[in-house]
Structure 1
Amino acid sequence: MLRGLYTATAGMMTQQHRHDTVTQNIANLNTTGYKQVESVARSFPEVMVALQNGDQGRDNRQVGKLNTGVFAEESISMMVQGDVTESNSSDDLALISDIQVANPQGGNIAFDDSGKAVQANGQTIYKPQAFFNVENPAGGIGYTRDGDMHLSSDGRLVTSMNQNVLGQDGQPIVLAGSMDDYWVRENGTIFNKATGAASGRIGITVAEQPNGLTRDGEGLFAEKTQGAGSLRAATNEDAIEVKQGFLERSTVDAAQSMVDLTAALRAYEANQKVVQFYDKSLDKAVNEVGRV
């Protein structure tokens, strides 16, 4: 009996985590460059159920497998290209990434809508993604798709979270005047409109394994384990384009998020009723059956 109580409780905890994940997505519905997060659940190890005394002379006849609960294993960011909308502001920069991966059998690998492809041998491959290089307040380099940028009072190009945007040389980009005085080419090179001289180039990093990156707060991603994201500097051969006057929208699907939120709530309530049922059964066993 207690096994069912623990199973229902584990289900409640999993649905709570799922609910929190969807709520986070909805809260960032209008956050520039935000990548939707999906909650991944995994069942506890299965156990084989068998008859205790066998059946018709057969010892321990197998009945079937039984899962003894479920838990939220992790939250995975959906690293896919978001919709790009025009903002008509010189400060805004959108990063469009469509990096292809060659298929050993010829052509390019076809990725699904989640940016994932499963090979015939079972190997999972994720579509590479590009990120702006910014200075991580915690130290080191952070990676972001937040193109909502502006020039600070001292001329530093910063994100909406006031993080320094780094150039290819790893140093903060400093410009004079306003972004209206500059135009940004597709490869991230910044040119002065008056003189035509290059004033720097925005640092862009390609993550060959974007799901190896972890969220580091304030819209940043980081490579906590070296090599997990297989990072490299972007090259002119990569299908990457920087568009000035545009912003990348969040990848959150508002309608699907509301469906997931309702489903998590209903599943939580169902598990809650199971817990209440077991509680009443135990109460009857202790206070009534035990009295006899």
Structure 2
Amino acid sequence: MLRGLYTAASGMMTQEQRHNTVTQNIANVNTAGYKATNSVQRSFPEVLVSMIGGNDSSNAGRKLGKFNTGVYAEESISLYTEGALRETGKNTDFALVSSFTVQNPATGQDYPFDASGRYVDENGEVIYRPEGFFTVQDENGDTRYTRNGSFRVSPEGNLLSESGYQVLDNNNRPIILTGSASDFTVNEQGEIMDAAGNGTGIILGVSIVSQPHGLIREGNGVFRMSDPDGEVRFMTPADNGVVRQGFIEGSNVDPTQSMVELTAALRAYETNQKIVQYYDRTLEKAVNEIGRV
């Protein structure tokens, strides 16, 4: 009896985590460059059920089958699909349009990634599509990555992210602009041009992360690599990536799907809650009524 109680309780905790994940997505539906998160659920390991006891000794140890004893929220996975671009007209706003590919060495063809940027081969190996990010440096000098291209220029000419981090060029150096903030443009390859349209030799550091599933959120739309030695390189003109000045990438959260997920999590939570209440009433009868017999 208590096994069912624990199973229902684990279901309630899992749906609570699922609910928290969806509400976080909804709260950031208008956050520039925000990437939605999905909560991955997994059942507890299967256990073998056997018949024990009884008057018939032939039933002892009879195998009844396997079943799971609950579910838990294993992890949260970010979806790196691109959000819709919104034109702002500000020359310090940038959006990254990227569609990077990976070639299958066996066939010479590009992997057909699905909408979430994954491909599972015939051996079950998961291959992820590389993703591009603007490269920034936090106050501790550590490299971070973001899709939020809402930048600003400090009085000293430093190009800063919305969180106040230094925006880096493709040589990992902080970008410092000379002259007025309105006197520069950026071409599609990310090169900063002066007021006369001449190249300055400074290129926005657009990092291509080969294993984006290894990124860890730090808040404010900023990510860091879980493995400091993970494969990251800067975008080159040969890559299929474009920097759009005067645009901002919106959130990739689907509000309609999020509301469906929210309702489903609530209904599942209520179902498990009723099961817990049922077990509570059953235990109450076992203790207070059957115990008096």
- Shorter-chain-normalised TM-score: which range? over 0.9
Structure 1 residues not aligned, in runs of 5+:
none
SS in 2 for 1:142: strand
Select the residue among 137, 142, 163 that pairs with 1:135: 137
- String of CA shifts for 1:236-256, please: whole Å, max 9, x gaps: 221111110111111100000
1:7-18 alignment runs, 5 A limit: 7-18=7-18
Amino acid at match of 1:182: F
Q: Is the 8 A contact 1:192 1:199 kept in 2?
A: no
The verdict on how the C-alpha distance between 1:64 and 1:226 changes in structure 2, with shifts beyond 3 A counting, is same
Please tell me whether residue 246 in structure 1 is matched to residue 251 in structure 2: no
Select the residue among 218, 223, 226 that pairs with 2:225: 223
SS in 2 for 1:110: coil
* Cα distance, 1:17 vs structure 2: 0.4
TM value normalised by structure 2:
0.94
Q: Is the 8 A contact 1:79 1:211 kept in 2?
A: no
Structure 1 distance, partners of 2:5, 2:197, is: 73
Amino acid at match of 2:142: G
Please tell me whether residue 284 in structure 1 is matched to residue 285 in structure 2: yes
- String of CA shifts for 1:43-80, please: whole Å, max 9, x gaps: 11101223325989566443322100111111110122
Structure 2 distance, partners of 1:238, 1:106, is: 17
TM value normalised by structure 1:
0.94
Match of 1:162 in 2: 164
Amino acid at match of 1:4: G
Structure 1 distance, partners of 2:256, 2:111, is: 30
Q: Is the 8 A contact 2:51 2:59 kept in 1?
A: no
Structure 2 distance, partners of 1:138, 1:83, is: 32
1:191-206 alignment runs, 5 A limit: 191-194=193-196, 196-198=198-200, 200-206=202-208
Match of 2:146 in 1: 144
The verdict on how the C-alpha distance between 1:195 and 1:125 changes in structure 2, with shifts beyond 3 A counting, is closer
RMSD: 1.8
Match of 2:264 in 1: 263
Match of 2:274 in 1: 273
Structure 1 distance, partners of 2:267, 2:62, is: 36
Please tell me whether residue 175 in structure 1 is matched to residue 177 in structure 2: yes
Structure 2 distance, partners of 1:236, 1:197, is: 15
SS in 1 for 2:253: coil
SS in 2 for 1:216: strand
SS in 1 for 2:292: coil
1:24-35 alignment runs, 5 A limit: 24-35=24-35
Structure 2 distance, partners of 1:129, 1:186, is: 17
Structure 2 residues not aligned, in runs of 5+:
none
Please tell me whether residue 115 in structure 1 is matched to residue 111 in structure 2: no
Q: Is the 8 A contact 2:98 2:242 kept in 1?
A: yes
SS in 2 for 1:41: strand
Percent pairwise identity: 50
- String of CA shifts for 1:123-163, please: whole Å, max 9, x gaps: 10111001111012354100000111121222211112222
* Cα distance, 1:281 vs structure 2: 1.0
Q: Is the 8 A contact 1:151 1:178 kept in 2?
A: no
Amino acid at match of 1:99: F
* Cα distance, 1:199 vs structure 2: 5.6
* Cα distance, 1:83 vs structure 2: 2.0
Structure 1 distance, partners of 2:240, 2:258, is: 31
The verdict on how the C-alpha distance between 1:81 and 1:64 changes in structure 2, with shifts beyond 3 A counting, is same
* Cα distance, 1:182 vs structure 2: 0.9
Aligned residues between the structures: 291
- String of CA shifts for 1:187-235, please: whole Å, max 9, x gaps: 21101023624162111211101001111222111013234x4222222
Amino acid at match of 1:166: L
Q: Is the 8 A contact 1:175 1:199 kept in 2?
A: no
Structure 2 distance, partners of 1:180, 1:170, is: 24
* Cα distance, 1:84 vs structure 2: 1.9
Match of 1:102 in 2: 103
